[in-house]
Amino acid sequence: MPGNDTLTVAVRVKPGASRARVGGRFDGPHGPALVIAVNAPAVDGRATEAARRALADALGVRAAAVSLRAGAASRDKLFLVADPEPAVSALLSRLRDGSDG
């Protein structure tokens, strides 16, 4: 296993969305954040869990590699991605800047 490298990802969660989507930028309290819209409601951690899984899927990593660092009860969250591949940072930038196609 390479070091204990982690990537911190600032996220703005939009719970209860009609369509789940990962992409876009929100300038939040943790700096430029990736917007993640999820169908799950903001109750009992369901939106946070849905956002964690959506982030993992969008970055092409295992869900177990993504963990919540801060923001359990907030729309503004910080997630940690354990041992990301080098391409993950570039993909994150494209998703956040809206050029995901």
Residue 89 lies in a domain: no
Query: Could you list the pLDDT tens digit for every one of the 101 residues in the chain?
Result: 344 589 999 999 999 999 999 999 999 999 999 999 999 999 999 999 999 999 999 999 999 999 999 999 999 999 999 988 888 888 888 888 875 44
pTM: 0.89
Which strands form 6-14's sheet, in the order they lie side by side?
A: 21-28, 31-37, 6-14, 76-82, 66-70
Is residue 20 assigned to a domain?
A: yes
Alpha carbon separation from 26 to 17, 35, 45, 101 (Å, rounded): 16, 6, 21, 19
Q: How many domains does the chain have?
A: 1
pLDDT at site 99: 54
Q: How much of the chain is in helix, strand and coil states, percent to nearest 5?
A: 30, 35, 35
pLDDT score recorded for residue 84: 86
pLDDT at res. 83:
84
Any domain includes 45: yes
CATH classification at residue 70: 3.30.1200.10
Domain that holds residue 63: 6-84
Say what the pLDDT of residue 101 is. Answer: 40
- Report the candidate in 5, 7, 4 with the shortest Cα–Cα distance to residue 91: 7
Residue 93 included in any domain: no
